[in-house]
Amino acid sequence: MKTITTTLCASVLMALAVPAQATGDPRAGQLKTSMCAGCHGIPGWRTAYPRVYSVPKLGGQHADYIVAALKAYKSGERNHPSMVGIVADLSEQDMEDIAAYYASSYSGPAK
């Protein structure tokens, strides 16, 4: 009995130690990515505004990272005019859904 109790307690503690994951719906997220696809959906795309740089690929990125980045644009912690405008009307659930979609849509390295 003591072994069962110890195993059960250890299992509960391990479950609690797992970091929180983004809780979005990838299907709902796919429907919300039309504003993203114009830049992030083009392999090797480079933008010239506000300066020239390569646009990051989102497919396969960690969902928690995407959510954190979107929140940072919304709060003003990150500043890119296009991204600030895009995230202005996103809810936290929208961010979670978009992140879940991109996290589940890895298609290999950009060409």
pLDDT at position 2 is: 62
Task: Please state which architecture CATH assigns to domain 23-103.
Answer: Orthogonal Bundle (1.10)
Where b means 16+ CB within 10 Å and e means fewer, 10-20 reads eeeeeeeeeee
> Which long-range contacts (C-beta less than 8 Å, at least 24 apart) are formed by 77-82?
80/50, 81/49, 81/50, 82/39, 82/47, 82/49
Q: What is the pLDDT of residues 44-95, one digit of tens each?
A: 888 777 677 788 889 999 999 999 999 999 999 999 899 999 999 999 999 9
Question: What are the boundaries of each domain within the chain?
Answer: 23-103
Q: What is the pLDDT of residues 18-49, one digit of tens each?
A: 444 558 999 999 999 999 988 888 888 887 77
Candidates 38, 32, 50; CA nearest to 87 is 32
DSSP class of residue 79?
Answer: -
Res. 10: pLDDT tops 90: no
* Paired tokens of 11: 């299992």
pLDDT at position 100 is: 97
DSSP class of residue 56?
Answer: P
